[in-house]
Amino acid sequence: MDYHKQMYNLHLKANPKEVLVGWYATSPELNTFSALIQNFYASNGDGTHPYPAVHLTVSSNPGKDITCRTYISSSVGTTADRAADSCLFVPVPYEIKYAETERNALESLSLGKTSSDRQVSNIVDIHSLEAGIIELLEMVSRVSNYVSQILAGETLPSVAIGQALLNTLNLAPKVDASELEKLFNTHLQDVLLVSYLANTIRTQIDLSNKLASTVGTIATPPKTDHKRQQKERD
């Protein structure tokens, strides 16, 4: 437990605005050790008291889908000697949220699941732009099919989904198609220019390294044993 306290204090020095909300485990099982750790994180002082500590379990079985569950604890009627390692875990709902940058990183990592060597190459801007456009077209197609099913009476309408679609459409910029095409082409040219310059600089660095190593090899004369030459002359 001292290790957790020290690491928590070090983390607060780098992230002073963050607060402790609970702990996680890579096993879905709940046992006596889970209760012991839960009570530690829910205690006074360095714990989450007066708020309950949240326990997150993440399954890590190879070949199976990752499942998450969240719990809070409630004390049970045990003796004082067993209070430290006894509690009742109560499941609570949860929602997984992540930032846009984290989403891009997760999508890049997920590309390796279909590769035999589990390796993923870096995606350049032009390929990322292409993937984004394809994903956008797929989402537009799904929304169009959903709206068509509602208009045909095949699906019951949802006020929440309709409001979300309306808010999304309101975020679209009010520009002409010609102006939008011009902006897109300008951005595309900038991306191609940056990619060309990066490749040129990389090639120049490789040539410089090879030339430097070649010149260094030529300029270094072979070592001569002057003592041996003097003995041979004598």
Residues 105-147 pLDDT 10s: 777 777 777 777 777 776 666 777 787 788 888 988 998 998 8
pLDDT of the residue at 46: 73
Backbone φ and ψ of 181, nearest 5°: -65, -40
By the 8 A CB rule, do 45 and 14 touch?
A: no
- The per-residue pLDDT of the chain, averaged, comes to 80
Indicate the helix (H) or strand (E) that contains 21.
none
By the 8 A CB rule, do 35 and 9 touch?
A: no
Using the 3D structure, point to which of 40, 62, 96 is the last residue of a domain: 96
DSSP 98: -
Closest CA to 58 of 47, 75, 70, 46: 70
pLDDT at 208 over 70: yes
Using the 3D structure, point to which of 42, 73, 96 is the last residue of a domain: 96
- Is residue 232 in a domain? no
Residues 41-85 pLDDT 10s: 888 777 788 888 899 999 877 778 888 999 998 877 666 666 666
- What pLDDT band is residue 93 in, cutting at 50, 70 and 90? very high
Q: How far is CA 22 from CA 38, 46, 99, 232, in A?
A: 8, 11, 21, 83
Token digits for 134? 């394809």
Least reliable range by pLDDT among 31-35, 116-120, 187-191, 199-203: 116-120
DSSP 122: P
Task: Give the range of the structural domain holding residue 208, as residue numbers without chain letter.
Answer: 177-217
pLDDT of the residue at 71: 93
- Is residue 55 in a domain? yes
- Is residue 128 in a domain? no
pLDDT at 221 over 70: no
- Is residue 74 in a domain? yes
Using the 3D structure, point to which of 72, 96, 120 is the last residue of a domain: 96
Neighbours of 123 (CB within 10 A): 15
Closest CA to 94 of 73, 62, 67: 67
Enumerate residues 6+ apart whose C-beta is below 8 A from 48.
20, 21, 22, 41, 42, 54
How many Å apart are CA 57 and CA 96, to the nearest integer?
13
Residues 150-174 pLDDT 10s: 888 888 888 888 888 888 888 777 7
DSSP 63: T
- Is residue 159 in a domain? no
- Is residue 92 in a domain? yes
Beta strands in 93-190 (DSSP E): none
pTM over cut 0.75: no
pLDDT of the residue at 162: 87
- What pLDDT band is residue 19 in, cutting at 50, 70 and 90? confident
- Is residue 80 in a domain? yes
The amino acid at residue 230 is Q
Neighbours of 170 (CB within 10 A): 8
Q: How far is CA 155 from CA 146, 149, 150, 159, in A?
A: 8, 6, 5, 13
Number of domains in the chain: 2
By the 8 A CB rule, do 169 and 143 touch?
A: no
